Structure 1
Amino acid sequence: MGKHRKLNKGQLRRMRANQQKRLQQVELAQEPDDASLGAPEPGIIVSRFGQHAVVANEQDQTFRCHIRRSIETLVCGDEVVWRRLTAQTEQTEQGVIEAVQPRHSLLSRPDYYDGLKPVAANIDQILIISSVLPAFSAQIIDRYLVACEDIDITPVIVLNKADLLETLAADAVDEIEQTLTMYEAIGYQVLRVSAKTLGGLDAIQSLLQQQVSIVVGQSGVGKSSLVNALLPEIETEVGDVSAGSGLGQHTTTVATRYPLPQGGYLIDSPGIREFALWHLDENRVAWCFKDFRPFLGRCKFRDCKHLPQDPGCALQEAVESGDLHALRLYNFHKIIESMASTKPSRAIPRGSKK
């Protein structure tokens, strides 16, 4: 008996698409009819699970709802129109989501196979969580800052596990503090907190008041621990940092929106170890380094790559004169290098003329 030939990526995708289509046909047949539904109501998506979602009404009461097949995309934070089920059914759903309102902001994450995947909508600010452990990384922070600048959502840099600073060598502490001071000089707000000792939480609570905020950051930086410290009643699952790799373990699996007692909402997002930016072109990435903007367009050559060997590079000259931090230019080049190596072959970056 011969061996089965392994399916290629295209065949696998078509097979999964056909399976999904069959599932959709079954779900469509199970959708409630209008006679069993109440009047339209406004709501907000708390979280989504496949073809179902949890919706909060204006009183923050939650309801598990079916999503109409006509809705193309739906994510945590979306404003929707939904209707309650008024008739008794064997299904567990309590309502049906009929429509999605226009979004004023959307945070998306590039996915190698599926392109840009939306994470959460209608956000006012993004809390970029970094920490002393796993190792503090300005390069990861800059990736998130680029993402924030690209979609025009206010970022706030939060150093979690600040209580561990005293366990580090003096030069390591100096490096972290100098980097945070650099971001403050650029104009970004920086907070130092500890979910373990609760240090600095008052500053975060004040910042979150009357805002819709989302916490992002690589796995293991303590996002869920921080959410638990701010909202102890929700008890999100907390993971440890791997002793072998030094990397964090994923705990949050779907973006979830929580009401805050002082007003406002906090979204806990799935942990990711690296935020890809291959959906952007190089010029857009450079613009998203907001301290680069005074120097962009002033290079001798229009196709300048801003490398040390490029003559008349305004960014290199700004570093030499002390008007631009060398670490930021270094991180920019590392991001550009990673974009070239991780970009899917069929991906077309935003801003490309192709």
Structure 2
Amino acid sequence: MTKRKLTQNQKRRIHSNNAKALDRHRRQEKKNIDWQDDLLGDTQDGIVVARYSMHADVENTQGEIFRCNLRRTLASVVVGDRVIWREGKEQLQGISGVIEAVQARKNELARPDYYDGLKVMASNIDRIIIVSAVLPSLSLNIIDRYLVICENAHIPAVIVLNKIDLLSEQELKAAAEQLKIYEDIGYQTLMISAETGKNMEKLTSLLTDCTSIFVGQSGVGKSSLVNQILPDVNAQTGEVSANSGLGQHTTTASRLYHLPHGGNLIDSPGIREFGLWHLEPDQITKGYREFQYFLGGCKFRDCKHLNDPQCALREAVEQGKIHPIRFENYHRLMTSRDENKSQRHFIE
């Protein structure tokens, strides 16, 4: 039996009902857990290591973790945030304290959401690990979406291809040639297998002494990589659906792990889509680092870089200075951005 797809209006009503239910639960919970100042200790520094719908786990400077409520005045609290919090003198319904304030973020990684606008996933990141795989498929278009985000957030990126144990020698060579497109413009790439451990030591060394985050589509093996790097974590893994070819969501909340060799790793929920409709067209253009050498060289200031006469970008493609796949993906992302932005306006 074919499953009927929900209309946009049905999705909007479901989202609205869920939001109202969460709001009622949140108001009741805050009513039940009323932290008075005399029930709280002094303010102290901490870092958010896990974030749930209504709470956050905060680690203090001694490495102890406390589940905390959030002050109503806080606009956003995400994994990686440095926070000011106060421990309760006793637990109230399993809650051990309150987050009072969020310190200024060095940077943040955000993705658009049709209903919630721009949603921050994590903060204070030193490196983004873009995990792709041969299953569901090696999509350079998806990789380019992430790279545009990385470039606009000014966060260095590493492209990792997982599940190479599933490739033949010929397929492995073809994948290496695809990754070379990114190596030629200055990105670091790595081909690994969480299943066999191939090149895992190289990935582990990249994570040392910094805070990294894994991002990528569902089913590319992010949780399997976490289990390889941190065997005691037991992150839940899932298979790729044989029917849809899409990965199954396994990680349900972002979480920060401390690595035994130094450094931190953030495992984020798998996402199948990473839209760019929240970005302006020039932000997407600037997200292609190799384009920067040629921007400003077009004959017309409003050049769309398509069939416009004397387009510097198109001429660079013809001269082999910009890879045609990257140029094609750029226009696909531009088209997708316009379509998604129109859909968002329709929903609103």
Are 1:300 and 2:282 counterparts? Answer: no
The residue number in structure 1 matching 2:162 is 160
The residue number in structure 2 matching 1:352 is none
The residue number in structure 2 matching 1:334 is 332
The residue number in structure 2 matching 1:351 is none
The residue number in structure 1 matching 2:6 is none
How much has 1:298 moved relative to structure 2? 0.7
Structure 1 residue runs of 5 or longer lacking an equivalent are: 1-6, 348-354
Task: Give distance in 1, aligned partners of 2:34 and 2:179.
Answer: 52
Q: Deviations over 1:321-344 (max 9, x none)?
A: 111111110000111111111125
Aligned to 2:108, which of 89, 106, 109? 106
The SS at the match of 1:175 is: helix
The residue number in structure 2 matching 1:182 is 181
Letter of the 1:224 counterpart: S
How much has 1:59 moved relative to structure 2? 2.7
Are 1:148 and 2:150 counterparts? Answer: yes
The residue number in structure 2 matching 1:318 is 316
Show the 5 A alignment for 1:258-297: 258-297=257-296
Task: Give distance in 1, aligned partners of 2:234 and 2:17.
Answer: 39
Letter of the 1:95 counterpart: G
Task: Give distance in 1, aligned partners of 2:18 and 2:273.
Answer: 26
The alignment's TM-score, normalised by the length of structure 1, stands at 0.90
The residue number in structure 2 matching 1:84 is 87
Show the 5 A alignment for 1:1-354: 22-29=24-31, 30-87=33-90, 89-166=91-168, 170=170, 172-307=171-306, 309-344=307-342
How much has 1:165 moved relative to structure 2? 2.0
Letter of the 2:325 counterpart: L
Task: Give distance in 1, aligned partners of 2:54 and 2:184.
Answer: 45
Task: Give distance in 2, aligned partners of 1:222 and 1:137.
Answer: 15
The residue number in structure 1 matching 2:3 is none
Task: Give distance in 2, aligned partners of 1:192 and 1:15.
Answer: 44
> Which 10-residue stretch deviates more, 26-35 or 178-187?
26-35
Letter of the 1:111 counterpart: D
Q: Taking structure 1 as reference, are residues 181 and 346 closer, same or farther at Cα in structure 2, changes over 3 Å only?
A: closer
Task: Give distance in 2, aligned partners of 1:74 and 1:124.
Answer: 18
Q: Taking structure 1 as reference, are residues 50 and 221 closer, same or farther at Cα in structure 2, changes over 3 Å only?
A: same
Q: Deviations over 1:255-314 (max 9, x none)?
A: 11000001110000010112100111211101110000001111111111111x221111
Letter of the 1:37 counterpart: L
Q: Deviations over 1:123-165 (max 9, x none)?
A: 1110000111121111100000000001100100011112222
Q: % of aligned pairs identical?
A: 50
The SS at the match of 1:85 is: strand
Structure 2 residue runs of 5 or longer lacking an equivalent are: 1-8
How much has 1:25 moved relative to structure 2? 3.7
Letter of the 1:234 counterpart: V
The alignment's TM-score, normalised by the length of structure 2, stands at 0.91
Q: Taking structure 1 as reference, are residues 60 and 27 closer, same or farther at Cα in structure 2, changes over 3 Å only?
A: same
Q: Alignment length, in residue pairs? A: 337
Letter of the 1:32 counterpart: W
Whether contact under 8 Å (1:54, 1:63) holds in the other structure is yes
Letter of the 2:131 counterpart: I
